[in-house]
Chains A and B, each alone.
Chain A
Amino acid sequence: MTIVYSSIVIQLFVYFIVAVSLNFVIGYAKSLSIHQAALFGIGAFTYAVIAGNGWSADLVVCGLAGAVIAGLLSVVLAFGAMRIAGDYFIVASFAFQIFAVNALYNWPSVSGADNGKYGLPLPSILGFDLASAWSFIVVFGIVAAVTLAFAVWLRRSPYGRLLTAMGDSPSALQTAGFGILRLKVGVFGISGAFAGLAGVLFASYVGAIDTTTFGIDLAILLVAMVIIGGTGSAVGSLLGAALIAFAPPLISNLPLSSTSAAAVQQLIFAGLLIVVVAALPRGLVQLGNRPAQLLRRSARQVRR
């Protein structure tokens, strides 16, 4: 497998984990969280600090640390989300995104400020070094599969049904005697933890990061990825992640400068975002629903 293809597959796994993490908040809590890029960045810089200082490059250690730090920060935001909703939450989420990235920038020992953190050591997992593209693909693929399994389990679990009910009608759930705070804190914490974990994986693969990577453009791109793919759906997250992973190499084949190629990619995502809201409210995953229904119906008829 060439370096380009392996890089696409690795990025697909990382973006899939971020998309699932964001889908927990957008799909369940129905809160349009803009700040996921900041939590993703916090995970990435957690790896930069732990591995960069030579403490440990083990993905289990760094992944746990990134997940705990980003998850706890997300829990704090959940308490804020209890007080504000709608446009107020969106503005607060934007404000947090900008403030958090700037805070990282102003903390040179963590982020390296203008220089960023580069030359990060290659990661290992339980004593095995990840030295080849294949090793990254296998490990990141396993983490993505575990994330998918967790998302499917959560959706079908009683807790997941309560989360869905919270998104649909929080007041009805409260009337039935369920505490919204516990649910919201839980889903925000889970979402933050997976975003932090994805950040750790991202930094361990690219080996050089700076705060500009995790700015407002990435924040919007992540929201676009989830909405274009389909909110509340793991398959939708995969579709959105695939779009983000495959678009840059495809567009780079066009005879454009790097700036123009980035702008064209941005235009495509912007157009897709608008078209999806107008024509496919449940995202691209909706396109597959009809054929899937037809397949299920014909399978039932065959069984009879």
Chain B
Amino acid sequence: MQFIQVTITQGLTFGSIYALAALGFAILYNTTGIFHLAYGDFAVFGFMIAVTLNKTEAAGPLVLSIVAAVATVFVLTTLVFTGYHLLERRGVDRLGVFVVSLGLAYGAEALMLLIFGPSIRTFTIPGLLRVHDVAAFSVSLLTWITIGSAIGIFALVTLALRSTRWGYRVRGISANPELAQLVGIRMTLTMLGVFAIAAMCSVWSATLLGMFTTQSSASGINLVLVAAIAVIAAGRGTYAGGFLLAMALGFIQPLFEFYISAPWASSAVFGVALVLLLVRPRGLSSAAIGVPQ
């Protein structure tokens, strides 16, 4: 019984973190079509900034340091995507742009190693770790914040994509960027919103992950791969599909740990991803690109 409770709690916690990371990756991938591999490293870079700025164990300064980290990652993402766009205009194909993102990810990891050192980082706010009993579950406040913020941010982003002028523009750019430009959609302003959401989701997910486990300069690749697996295996264009699949991936690790084989738990997500991609090569959903499901 205790195993079931722990599996559900851990699954929901890590699933929510992966889902947040997947949401940020999805909005970039669906809108631009670019596989931004450095997304995970930028997220961890944001986490490192937040940890470095926040020297206390209070929540107030932490929020401020997270805001500063999100702003930094937002600026970096904007610059990098401007670079990708310039490369595409020079005739560099999708594979070339991906290789550049591979170089950025590789370089960002090295830069973090030089700036922040090789040690692993984590931080705790004791108040958030206080456990509350709800029904048969003992859940910390941090877990509630994690699950709540993931669902809340997903709901807000989906609502914005469905019901606001900005959302219509994003969907237009996702479906046909050339046509969107021709009909006069203000690309720059629209894309800035996309980058801001991606920066927020990435930094927040990396920060939460760093509060439950540890982060190092090499952690970014795992975060982006889990996010990319969820988004790509769900099918390009489906925000809900990516979000839910990432949530499900969060359950795989504790399920393996408790019921199948603990040593295989860390790579189980990737094994499942391989099977998913081979069985459903076009993704689980066949939703149209640009239409949030």
Contacts and interface: CB of A to CB of B under 8 A. Distances in A.
Interface of A: 30, 32, 80, 83-84, 86-88, 90-92, 94-96, 98-99, 102-103, 105-106, 216-217, 220, 223-224, 227, 259-260, 262-264, 266-267, 269-274, 277-278, 281
Contacts of B117: 259
A259 B112 CA distance: 12
A266 B105 CA distance: 10
A266 B109 contact: yes
24 contacts: A32-B98, A80-B277, A83-B281, A84-B277, A87-B35, A87-B98, A91-B273, A92-B273, A95-B273, A96-B270, A99-B274, A102-B266, A102-B267, A103-B267, A106-B261, A220-B102, A263-B113, A266-B110, A267-B114, A270-B106, A272-B103, A274-B107, A277-B92, A278-B100
B201 interface: no
Interface in B15-72: 35
A288 B90 CA distance: 22
Given A91-B225, A224-B106, 18 more contacts: A83-B281, A88-B281, A91-B229, A95-B225, A99-B267, A99-B271, A102-B266, A106-B263, A224-B103, A259-B113, A260-B113, A263-B113, A267-B110, A270-B104, A271-B107, A272-B103, A274-B107, A277-B100
Contacts of A83: 278, 281
Nearest to B114: A263
Contact of B95 (A30, A102, A262): A30
A277 B229 contact: no
Nearest to A34: B102
Interface in B162-197: none
Contacts of B267: 98-99, 102-103
The 3 closest A-B pairs by CB, nearest first: A270-B107, A273-B103, A102-B267
B4 interface: no
A223 B102 CA distance: 9
A67 B87 CA distance: 38
A235 B118 CA distance: 36
B288 interface: no
A103 B278 CA distance: 19
B264 interface: yes
A95 B35 contact: no
B228 interface: yes
B141 interface: no
B232 A91 contact: yes
A273 B106 contact: yes
B99 interface: yes
A106 B263 CA distance: 7
Contacts of B273: 91-92, 95
Nearest to B110: A266
Nearest to A79: B278
Contacts of B148: none
B106 A95 contact: no
B80 to A, nearest CB: 10
A91 B225 CA distance: 7
Nearest to A84: B281
A216 B225 CA distance: 12
B271 A266 contact: no
B278 to A, nearest CB: 5
